[in-house]
Structure 1
Amino acid sequence: MMGASLGRFHAEWRRRLQAGVERAPELDPRSGVWLIRWALVALLVGSTIYLICGYHGGFERLNGIASGYPDWLWEHLTSLGDERLVFALSLLFSLRYPRLFWSLVVAGTIAALYGRGFKALFDASRPPAVLAADLFNLIGPAHRHASFPSGHSVTAAVFCGVLLFHSHRWGWRVLLTLIAVAVGLSRIAVGVHWPVDVAAGLMGGALAAWVGCRIAQRWSGPAANPVLHLSIVILAAFPAMSLLYDPGDYSSAVPMVRILGLAGLVGMLVQYGLLPWRSLARVDGLR
């Protein structure tokens, strides 16, 4: 009896995964062009700052302007660049849109290689390691190493970039771009990254999103593989859970971080447990 029930549950779950795979909308090529332009603009901005003002150029001015706004604003924005939040948020749509989820997995892998690779290669010093404490506004911990590129900017750009790639509306493209840029600017505002770091992060994240989505389009089989899909979902649940007991270094953003982490976990349980079970119970009730 139990074995039969589990078998039916598994079949219903696989049916939902297949329905999600077939739900994938037709992509708008203009979204891909938008991402390429995003990356080129970020490259142009970063290169201009570096060539004219040097690696540290623009930091004190931008950090000073940002200090005129409340700390809680920057703490909330910068917390959105925590890669664990991306795992949590992805659990909200992983089963309904498995192709989108798979695109994020591929793009995220590329982005992680880019960000961590260059951090290890350059190990550039951050503002707290270079500037006296009274010369800039520091919010949160004083990170000192692995400055280039900004990891939070990479994370925000790749997540927003993947969503943008699958968007058909101009307004959504603008909003997602602005969110990623705001997260990047918050890293300057909290005093732990140079503008060049942020520009490089936004460029790399956007390119990773474009490349990852193109690869996922051509190599779409894993999106429909139940074992691989569920394995990735389970792995994503662990960083989402960590947000509940380790919400980060920015105190005012702790409630938001925990709520989003919990939302991702609840969304996972609803998609992969409650809804299939309710569907089977409804069928049994009609018999």
Structure 2
Amino acid sequence: MCCTTALTSLTCGPASWPRGAVRCWWTGRSCPMKPRWVPMALPNAAGWSARRFSAWAMPSPASIFMPAAAGPARPSRACAPCLSSRVRMQPVLRPHPDMRSMPFSLFPARLWLLPLLVFVLSAPLWLHVWEPGMFVFLNQLCLPVAAPVWTGLSLLGNGWGVLAVTAPLLRCAPRLMWAWVCAAPFAIVFARVGKAYLVSPRPAAEVDNAQMRIVGEVLHNVSMPSGHTTTAFAVASAIFFALTPRQRKRHGWILLLALGAGLSRIAVGAHWPGDVAVGISLGLLAGLLGNVLLASLPARCLDASHWSLRLLALLVLCAVYFLLTEELDFAENLPLQRLLAGVALLSVLAFAMRSARALKAS
């Protein structure tokens, strides 16, 4: 009987489930194993973590069900020499076909050019070639939609709101939570530097306020770029690009939500369309850079018992406090803030229970 078992291939697809096999050093043949379902860790951005996938391998907090070897391997009749006690087994682990090994090779070059493409194509907007007509047109186009809808979408660009919206990821998919957290510093730097060095008045300072709808406080300066749009697209693109190419096809709605957040900044009269376009470009770049940073994140940061995830849970609790005690951007958002605070609090409690079980098991 073979002394050890290992997975020699991992292939994912709608028509083929992952298969396990053992490879004999004596004959070079692969023997099929009878799999059983056990939890296995999700891949990190650099590929599958190098660990032995056995029936007793414990998963990280984010897990999916994949087949692994159950008990001793059952070699086929064609590999009779495997029954020899002298045979050693060769563990081989191949990376997921949708992942890459080097951080900056996570995405094709054309994807890295996407932020630049958005920036160049939107040049007439941020150069104000079509202003103020374009802003007035879009602002009036959004009038039939109630103001609370736009203010709620705008909350997706607020840091505390984002923490509450993504709080369930802390329990269900910590890798995706880390993806946007890694992108957040880049988004903050891009937005702050732009607002500090670019003198750009807001629409309310140049357009007759009778021709536009203004929701909330009337703002007059520090317009470029839209910080809410940059934040929303940094979070959405970081999560979106952290998914495998197959998963991205089913989750394009994430980017649509971010686009809604950007459009809401025009609908409430806070930003020019050019500010939103530049925010989209910077947010996409922040999301890509965040995934590069995610690729270097240690795998232990995904464990429910690790201190870094507990720190994120504390940040979510801070978000709950501000959602319940502060008015974030608009008074119309107060009911939504309470709802998000409840969701975030339940998510933290679920994570705390999982973390406690992980500590007890260790």
- In the superposition, the TM-score normalised over structure 1's length comes to 0.79
Kindly report which structure 2 residues correspond to 1:1-287, keeping only aligned pairs within 5 A, or say none.
Answer: 19-20=60-61, 32=107, 36=112, 38-51=114-127, 53=129, 58-167=134-243, 168-220=246-298, 223-224=301-302, 226-272=306-352, 274-276=353-355
The 1-side partners of 2:358 and 2:298 are apart by 27
* Offset, 1:147: 0.9
The 2-side partners of 1:103 and 1:278 are apart by 25
**Structure whose CA Rg is larger:** 2
Residues 37-78 of structure 1: CA deviation (Å, up to 9, x unaligned): 652453134213234716756211211211233223222222
Residues 157-195 of structure 1: CA deviation (Å, up to 9, x unaligned): 011112211233344442122111111011001001001
The 2-side partners of 1:231 and 1:63 are apart by 40
Structure 2 unaligned spans of 5+: 1-57, 66-94
The CA RMSD over aligned residues, in Å, is 3.2
For residues 265 and 38 of structure 1, do their structure 2 counterparts lie closer, same or farther at Cα, with a shift above 3 Å needed? farther
SS of the equivalent of 1:140 reads coil
The 1-side partners of 2:223 and 2:238 are apart by 24
For residues 151 and 65 of structure 1, do their structure 2 counterparts lie closer, same or farther at Cα, with a shift above 3 Å needed? same
SS of the equivalent of 1:67 reads coil
Structure with greater strand share of residues: 2
Aligned length: 265
Aligned residue type for 2:194: F
* Offset, 1:198: 0.2
Structure 1 unaligned spans of 5+: 1-16
The 2-side partners of 1:216 and 1:229 are apart by 14
SS of the equivalent of 1:53 reads coil
Q: Is the 8 A contact 1:100 1:166 kept in 2?
A: yes
SS of the equivalent of 1:169 reads helix
SS of the equivalent of 1:125 reads coil
The percent of aligned pairs where both chains have the same amino acid is: 26
The 1-side partners of 2:248 and 2:357 are apart by 37
The 2-side partners of 1:112 and 1:213 are apart by 16
Residues 225-270 of structure 1: CA deviation (Å, up to 9, x unaligned): 8233322331342133201121424333322222112211221122
**Does 223-232 or 199-208 show the bigger shift?**
223-232
For residues 249 and 107 of structure 1, do their structure 2 counterparts lie closer, same or farther at Cα, with a shift above 3 Å needed? closer
The 2-side partners of 1:121 and 1:106 are apart by 25
The 1-side partners of 2:357 and 2:179 are apart by 29
For residues 88 and 72 of structure 1, do their structure 2 counterparts lie closer, same or farther at Cα, with a shift above 3 Å needed? closer
> Structure with the greater relative contact order (CA < 8 A, sep ≥ 6): 1 or 2?
1
- In the superposition, the TM-score normalised over structure 2's length comes to 0.64
SS of the equivalent of 2:201 reads coil
